Amino acid sequence: MIYIHIPFCKQRCVYCGFYSTAANSVSESYIDAVCTELKLRSDYLTNKEIQTIYLGGGTPSLLTIEQLTRIQNTLTELFDLSKLKEVTLECNPEQLTEQHLNNLKNTNFINRLSIGVQSFDNDDLKLLNRRHSCTDAINATKNAQKAGFDNITLDLIYGIPGLTNNRWIENLNIIANLNIQHLSCYALTVEDGTMLKTLIDKGMILPTDEDQALQHYESLIKWCNNNNFSQYEISNFCREGYEAIHNSRYWDNTHYLGIGAAAHSYNGTSRQWNISDLKTYIQSINSNLVPATIETLSVEDRFNEYLMTALRTKRGLETGYINKLSVDLWQTTEPKLSTYINKGLMVPTPKGYRLNHDGMLLADAIAAELFI
Ligand code: SF4
């Protein structure tokens, strides 16, 4: 699978810790570099048959159709795309005009849209420094459906300071009328170095409230149960048959090639990440050098990463996978799991163990306790 990072945003959202640059468009020199990096690294994955591609950001919906087509043509030249199942484009609602959506559909390339709605409440959107309104978000989703997109996911954020539980449920109820296939909901986190952190520290925005975020999460789970969205990961919910293929593979240890500034790659034994600096990235690629830091992963690193991601999923830990990694690690870990079963946090599955609802609330802490 291939991830392509498009690190350009028209303006910075206050909570954002991702690498991106404020710009009105994606520079041609960046697209040149992305296409060159694809060529330089076309042998990174041992299997050239690509099943999923994800264009993330930043704001990939700032790509023009010509830029997108150049990337598509380069991919087609270098890889076997005959078994391609899912190509996702992350989008901001304000860029999804009817015309642009029709053009996107006509590329016959993008088949899944991930729309960064974050909230349907204009006050929340203003607080987060998003550029769109509630109406923009609704229109973008409906226009995408009109253009023929039938695999749409929306991103929402809960735990926003001042967001009451009733207003959060109103957000969810808007979704009930939008007939989408997938939903990702994340608790607002306050990361160091973000504008949100500064504003909270200066007392200009209320701090986030963990109890309120937990109440929002409980309401979300109840709402999803009542509205036919099944939870397959802590933050991800879908209609039957619409699990995100690309993202699910990050959780099951599939190798991936990450292209672009700040993109990460994984080949089973090492992880590498490109420099988070646009200018240096472009200059380096133009000299045929990939500006990446490489970390070789020990069996313990891979085990810990697996714990961290697998415990967040409905599939849970698979005994077979851990045994393949190291029989010793499994023999050390399995007896510890009975503690969580006895506490009513974990249940057996046909292939291993998974956290139940109460356990999911403590997933990160449980993973940390099990780390080697
Ligand atoms: S649009 Fe996305 S990547 Fe860009 S600043 Fe906002 S949250 Fe960050």
What is the pLDDT confidence band of residue 19, given thresholds at 50, 70 and 90?
confident
Query: Distance, CA 354 to ligand 1 centroid (Å)?
Result: 32
**Ligand 1 atom index nearest CA of 129:** 6
**Ligand 1 atom index nearest CA of 92:** 1
Whole-model pTM above 0.85?
yes
pLDDT of residue 368: 93
Beta carbons of 329 and 322 less than 8 angstroms apart? yes
What is the pLDDT averaged over residues 358-362?
94
**Eight-state DSSP code of residue 261:** T
Nearest CA to ligand 1 atom 2: 58
pLDDT of residue 139: 97
> Lowest mean pLDDT: which of 13-27, 139-153, 223-237?
13-27
Question: Which of the listed ranges 19-33, 130-144, 329-343 does the model predict with the highest average pLDDT?
Answer: 130-144
Instruction: Provide φ and ψ at 206, rounded to 5°.
Output: -65, 145
Alpha carbon distance 315, 230 (integer Å): 13
Q: Is the pLDDT of residue 253 over 90?
A: no
Q: Is the pLDDT of residue 251 over 90?
A: no
What is the pLDDT averaged over residues 66-93?
97
Q: Is the pLDDT of residue 177 over 80?
A: yes
Q: What percent of the chain has pLDDT over 70?
A: 100
Query: Distance, CA 9 to ligand 1 centroid (Å)?
Result: 6
Q: Is the pLDDT of residue 74 over 80?
A: yes
Q: Is the pLDDT of residue 14 over 80?
A: yes
What is the pLDDT confidence band of residue 326, given thresholds at 50, 70 and 90?
confident
Q: Kindly report the average pLDDT of the chain as a whole number.
A: 95
Alpha carbon dihedral 13, 15, 17, 18, in 10-degree steps, equals -40
Better-scored residue on pLDDT, 20 or 110? 110
pLDDT of residue 196: 94
- The alpha carbon of residue 312 and the mean position of all alpha carbons in its chain are separated, in whole angstroms, by 14
Nearest CA to ligand 1 atom 7: 16
Choice from 14, 18, 63 to test ligand 1 binding pocket (greatest atom count within 8 A of CB): 18
Choice from 10, 13, 62 to test ligand 1 binding pocket (greatest atom count within 8 A of CB): 13
Query: Distance, CA 194 to ligand 1 centroid (Å)?
Result: 12
What is the pLDDT confidence band of residue 292, given thresholds at 50, 70 and 90?
very high
Q: Annotate 173-184 with three-state secondary structure.
A: HHHHCCCCCEEE
Q: Is the pLDDT of residue 80 over 80?
A: yes
Query: Distance, CA 193 to ligand 1 centroid (Å)?
Result: 14
Nearest CA to ligand 1 atom 6: 13
Nearest CA to ligand 1 atom 8: 16
Tens of pLDDT along 193-245? 999 999 999 999 998 899 999 999 999 999 999 999 999 999 999 999 999 99
pLDDT of residue 250: 84
pLDDT of residue 50: 97
Long-range CB pairs of 165-170, under 8 A, 24+ apart, other chains included: 165/212, 165/215, 165/216, 165/219, 167/121, 168/216, 168/219, 168/220, 169/219, 169/223, 170/120, 170/121
pLDDT of residue 110: 98
Q: Is the CB of 16 under 6 A from ligand 1?
A: yes
Architecture of domain 2-250: Alpha-Beta Horseshoe (3.80)
**Ligand 1 atom index nearest CA of 90:** 2
**Eight-state DSSP code of residue 270:** E
- The alpha carbon of residue 357 and the mean position of all alpha carbons in its chain are separated, in whole angstroms, by 22
Q: Is the CB of 18 under 6 A from ligand 1?
A: yes
Choose among 206, 91, 221, 115: nearest CA to 159: 206
**Alpha helices in 17-114, H assignment, sequence order:** 28-40, 65-78, 98-106
pLDDT of residue 285: 98
pLDDT of residue 372: 86
